[in-house]
Structure 1
């Protein structure tokens, strides 16, 4: 099981230089952040596939970093296809929500009728709900690709089918993930403020030295890695349970 944390540490370590540079050279930190984001975009499907595969192995006994590489390499293309499709849909819905928010602010500065404001509010609400609903029903595409060998497109429909057949259980699983993840996210965000002197001063927090910033960044990396590993194992265990209960023969596909 400890080996499962190593890839997550490496992934979060990509943000380490950015956090460390924020206190000394914000411009360079921004450039490093851009490069890390591009690298993350390309590497995330590999990382997802490797982590899901390792989690599946760990639930049956143990896994290894070699397995991480094997799962990542063999499932990369289909994970990338599914990831890009999800990213595209989320981008479209996100743009709609952003436009509606901007329009609401703009209409607030310009006198308009209540019908227009109501229409803008409805469009924004529908787009926001669609964004949440889409994320909810496709959240298991990685498990479908790695554990069942499905294509990127088929994995999205498979995730939808699993969620639809286990709606109450998935809602409970998602609620737990949201509450725990949200709490950790708040802690993560609070500690992140310490790595930016301007933000720390604005919130009345202590301005750390470079060594202090490095220490906080290291803590953030470790915490983020452990939490993300827990959620991967949790998601794989949940997916295995609901798909096995639905069809005892489903494990044969893995």
Structure 2
């Protein structure tokens, strides 16, 4: 299965190139100001944290392109920071444009789904209220469960086919639209493997989600005296996890994309 073999490749590449973990460690450190804002009472800290967060978002395309380039090099043998800087600089505008287009398309997609789902749900509820017995129950079930489920599946499918646009841009030297086309074409012929890949990535993402939830819930979980200490420990754990798991998932994405986008022999 491509997802498993790509995971093995990625693990070997990261072990062979610990520099990838160092680079991702800085990505974790860059998130600290946005986490600190959650507990800040000072207006100045909020403003500074907000500015840093905006700068971080603007740098994400550069960072993403650089890490993809480094990961590709690492899979072939060894990599260095020059590759990171080169790929980040050369692909910044393209990836930035792709991010903007992806965000706009996702918002539009969600709006359309919400409208269609809302109309469908309203129609189902109206039908249920007008009817009685089994028909009313089925209509209510449709409104409460089926419609939201269909909307969720369609949203996941949207992300499912477009998730490799960054890899397509950097590795295949594509433009914005070409990056999305490359992702769709690669996934279209490898749906089952891509599903396995997404499951692995989601399992790793759960680590960050749990840590994030714990950090957000700290004021309610610990006393004021322990808040700073426990918060600092969780932030350190988050930064280290970003370094280790972030390096793996970034390299894993490149290894998997290269497998599913390779011409069939």
The TM tier, using the shorter chain, reads: 0.7 to 0.9
Q: Contact 1:144–1:155 at 8 Å: present in 2 too?
A: yes
Residue 188 of structure 1 pairs with residue 204 of structure 2: no
Counterpart in the other structure of 2:50:
34
Deviations 1:120-153 (A, max 9, x none): 9766444433221111001111111111101111
Aligned partner of 2:238 among 213, 220, 241: 220
Q: 1:72: how far off?
A: 0.4
Offset of 1:159 from its aligned partner? 0.5
Structure 2 contact 165–183 (Cα < 8 Å) conserved: yes
Segments of 5+ residues of structure 1 without an aligned counterpart are 194-198, 249-254
Note the C-alpha offset of 1:26: 6.2
Q: Which runs of 5+ in 2 are unaligned?
A: 1-16, 130-138
**Residue 153 of structure 2: aligned partner:** 129
1:55-66 to structure 2, matched below 5 A, reads 55-66=71-82
1:47 maps to which residue? 63
Assess, with a 3 A threshold, how the Cα gap between structure 1 residues 114 and 44 changes in structure 2: closer, same or farther: farther
Mark the CA change 1:238 to 1:220 in structure 2 (over 3 Å): closer, same or farther.
same
Q: Which of 113-122 and 211-220 deviates more?
A: 113-122
Matched residue, 1:114:
128
The structure-2 alpha-carbon separation of the partners of 1:201 and 1:49, relative to structure 1 and needing over 3 Å to count, comes to closer
The worse-fitting range, judged by mean Cα deviation, of 155-164 and 85-94 is 85-94
Is it true that 1:170 corresponds to 2:194 in the alignment?
A: yes
Pair 1:90–1:33, CA change in 2 (3 A): farther
Q: Is the 8 A contact 1:100 1:123 kept in 2?
A: no
2:228 aligned residue (203, 210, 224): 210
Separation of aligned partners in 1, 2:222 and 2:79: 42
- Does 2:116 match 1:93? no
Say yes or no: does 1:157 pair with 2:181. yes
Cα distance in 2 between the residues matched to 1:95 and 1:32: 32
Quote the Cα distance in structure 2 between the aligned partners of 1:29 and 1:112.
50
Higher relative contact order structure (alpha carbons within 8 Å, sequence separation ≥ 6) = 2
Please name the residue that 2:26 is paired with: 10
Larger radius of gyration: 2
Equivalent position SS for 1:63: coil
- Work out whether residues 75 and 145 of structure 1, in 8 Å CA contact, stay in contact via their aligned partners in 2: yes
Moved more, 30-39 or 95-104: 95-104
